[in-house]
């Protein structure tokens, strides 16, 4: 899928480093798929999977050692977002800073549009 300004998703350096660490322990060619599905306490939630194939409708984001895939349906909800990795007192987690989310939960994994 061709990236446009409307569907651009960025991956922070912290997230890219963490993804690279995760993928380094997986078989060669592994990638991180980030998707949106129904559920969570706010209605929609992010899902993370390690996969080894790219689908025709995937947006592919490549950073050194880290490839992130987002399917076209999820991209409708994630356009303009930044995928970040946070390591603070309450723990470590990927967080998606989504400009379309009007509400979210405390854990940062579910949201409402």
Cα distances (Å, whole numbers) of residue 36 to 3, 64, 68, 97: 18, 24, 14, 14
- pLDDT digits over 66-85, tens only? 999 999 999 988 889 999 99
> Which is more confidently placed, 82 or 105?
82
Widest distance between CA atoms in the chain? 40
Q: What is the CATH number of the domain that holds 36?
A: 2.60.300.12
Lowest mean pLDDT among 42-46, 48-52, 72-76: 42-46
- Domain extent at residue 101: 10-112
- DSSP letters spanning 35-80: EEEE-STTSEEEEEEEES---TT-EEEEETTEEEEE-HHHHHHHTT
**Among residues 3, 5, 54, which one has the least CA distance to residue 30?**
54
User: Looking at the domain assignment, is residue 29 inside a domain?
Assistant: yes
Whole-number pLDDT of residue 92:
83
Q: How sure is the predictor about 106, in pLDDT bands with cuts at 50, 70 and 90?
A: low
| Interatomic CA distance for residues 70 and 88, integer angstroms | 26
- State pTM to two decimals: 0.82
Q: How sure is the predictor about 6, in pLDDT bands with cuts at 50, 70 and 90?
A: low
User: Looking at the domain assignment, is residue 32 inside a domain?
Assistant: yes
User: Looking at the domain assignment, is residue 1 inside a domain?
Assistant: no
| Interatomic CA distance for residues 24 and 3, integer angstroms | 26
User: Looking at the domain assignment, is residue 72 inside a domain?
Assistant: yes
Number of independent structural domains in the chain: 1
């Amino acid at each position: 899928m061709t990236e446009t300004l409307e569907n651009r998703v960025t991956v922070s350096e912290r997230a890219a480093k963490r993804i690279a660490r995760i993928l380094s322990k997986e078989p060669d060619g592994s990638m991180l798929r980030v998707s949106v599905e129904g559920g969570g306490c706010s209605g929609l939630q992010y899902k993370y999977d390690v996969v080894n194939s790219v689908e025709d409708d995937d947006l592919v984001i490549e950073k050194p050692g880290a490839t992130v895939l987002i399917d076209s349906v999820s991209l409708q909800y994630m356009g303009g977002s930044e995928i970040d990795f946070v390591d603070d007192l309450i723990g470590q987690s990927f967080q998606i800073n989504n400009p379309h989310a009007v509400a979210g939960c405390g854990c940062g994994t579910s949201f409402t549009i």
